[in-house]
Chains A and B, each alone.
Chain A
Amino acid sequence: MLRFKNLLVRGCGVTILRDFDLELPARGTAVLLGPSGCGKTTLMRSVIREDEDDPDLDVQGTIELNGADLRAAAMSRTTVRQKIGLIPQRPVAFPGTTLENVTFALRHTTRLPKAEIERRARAALEEVGLEEGVWEREAECLSGGQLKRLALARTVALDPDVLLMDEPSNGLDPLAVVRLERLITRLAEHRLVVVVTHDLYMARRIADEVHFLWPFADGCRVVESGAPEKVLEVPARPETRLFVQAAWNGAAALYEVEEGLEDCEAEECMPRRLTLLQDEPSETP
């Protein structure tokens, strides 16, 4: 179980997350939704203690994995990163072949025998569906979709308890997205997979639970959580309603959200409504 308690995160002098509480199960897929810039990526970076590398990022509060405080001094950063894998939005290839990319972290963070490292790397590459033809190819020659799967294989090979995936479907074609969704579902059978995405269709297909984050004036918080069919179909909060209806139906949906704007043309209403929400933040739930 991954639990955030009273988290306060500041980046570049701005409060990004405040009074942030969230509890995620030990297994399954949890999807985090919310407008751009509301701190979803920062939340993931906080989990793996990237604030220790970034002086502009300040994290306070508690993040626990199965009861163990991930931010405790006694817990080394390497241990945290072995338990929790982060797949970035824009992965980069390490120098070397695809296979070497996957064995790299195993070689330098574990004391496994060479044969075992090779076996785990090959198993991870097979699991993410990277065809054997590219295993010996220079990783920098891989396509964008292959690179995403390579980044996933690099992390999966370490067998983490939690996988954090930042906009994994970004830039992938529909078939690649479907393959990715199947993979996420499979990976989530044995661990927690946290997915940040703006793709609500994907969220509906893979999520066991959905958490909707909203940026209030004093920081971002979770405003609504629940099963995908509830949060994505019949959201309770106006912010969630606005977000999901904009995703499902486009600008036209905004009529239904804001009373008194029924007569307004969609093109006019969209910026008005969005400006309203940006400039006059909702009250804390």
Chain B
Amino acid sequence: MRLASQLASGILIAFVALLTLDLFVRGAPEWSAGYLFAPVREGGTDGGIGPIVFSTLFVTFLATAIALPFALGAAILSNEILMHSPRLAGAILRSFETLASAPSVALGLVGWTLFGRIFGLGFSLLSGGLTLAIMLVPILAVAFHAGLAAVPRALRAQSQALGVSRWTTLVRLVIPAAWPALFAGLVLALGRATAETAVLMLTSGISTRMPQDAFDPGATLAVHVYQLARNVPGGEPRAYAAACALLVINVAVHLSLARLRKEPA
């Protein structure tokens, strides 16, 4: 049994290592000094990816900042406030699960129509961030709901039996107890956001110039990789280089957030 589990683990690790190695072998030689910060030249076949990295981080963190309170609120509503109305809570959860599994290109179209056209934001980082937030809310809410639901009901009951209010119990006991699960949900959603292509092609655009403000368009890394691989002649090696950068940024964000994995004080 132990040998089998070690073998399975070894195969999994080897698979991930092989994928990463392939990316780096093809992409790293394209990197130059200052590649992550230099402006894009010749449609991406020369220069760096500075504006792309900026747009990626801006859109991702804007979307996460908007989505987080809504998702946490929805999870608290369905799991804590509506716990005595299981049908309603279940309906909310099912609708989020459906929305989380909706094709992102459809959300992209909705985002483009709503923010791009109706609100007049056009192709812009703001338009992309808002649409991405709509995509992230159900993903985060489902993950947060599962995290809160995993905290034993007895914890809440025994805190409230001491006279502690429901709200204090939630903030001081339940959320800290659920923190590792909430954090895991957040990391997964961030990964999904940085890798999202369809939504952002339709909302934040494919411009490779440095955006001057949130109303300017700007391609994110995933969009840039797609463009280089499909629409730029001879762009494939540079697509690998940009994909490498995406992986590095994802790992860096993950590692910098890792310190938050521990329960909040």
Contact = CB atoms under 8 A, between A and B. Distances in A.
Contact of B163 (A55, A82, A91): A82
Nearest to A157: B162
B9 interface: no
Given A95-B177, A95-B263, A78 B161 contact: no
A94 B173 contact: yes
B161 A86 contact: yes
Nearest to A93: B155
Interface residues of B, number: 19
B164 interface: yes
A91 B159 CA distance: 10
B43 interface: no
Contacts of B172: 104, 108
Contact of A81 (B163, B173, B177, B263): B163
Contacts of B163: 77-79, 81-82, 105, 109, 158
A90 B161 CA distance: 13
A269 B124 CA distance: 83
B39 to A, nearest CB: 48
B257 interface: no
Interface string A100-132: 000011001100000000000000000000000
Interface in A53-69: 53-55
A79 B163 CA distance: 7
A40 interface: no
Interface centre among B158, B159, B176 (most CB of A within 10 A): B158
B32 interface: no
B259 interface: no
Contacts of A158: 162-163
B162 A92 contact: no
A215 interface: no
Contact of A92 (B155, B164, B176, B263): B155
Interface residues of A, number: 26
A190 to B, nearest CB: 19
A50 interface: yes
A5 to B, nearest CB: 23
Nearest to B163: A81
Contacts of A151: 158
B154 A78 contact: no
Contact of B157 (A50, A77, A79): A50
B173 A109 contact: no
A158 B161 CA distance: 12
Nearest to B174: A95
A124 to B, nearest CB: 12
Given A55-B84, A108-B165, A108-B168, A92 B160 contact: no
B154 A85 contact: no
Nearest to A91: B158
Contacts of A144: none
Contacts of A86: 161
B84 to A, nearest CB: 4
A204 B161 CA distance: 28
A109 B157 contact: no
B152 interface: yes
Nearest to A106: B162
Given A53-B160, A91-B158, A104-B162, 19 more contacts: A53-B157, A54-B84, A79-B163, A81-B162, A81-B163, A82-B163, A85-B161, A86-B161, A88-B157, A92-B158, A94-B155, A95-B176, A95-B177, A104-B173, A105-B162, A105-B163, A108-B164, A109-B163, A109-B164
Closest 5 CB pairs of A and B: A105-B162, A81-B163, A109-B163, A55-B84, A78-B163
Interface of B: 84, 152, 154-155, 157-165, 168, 172-173, 176-177, 263
7 contacts: A53-B157, A54-B84, A82-B163, A92-B152, A95-B176, A95-B177, A104-B173
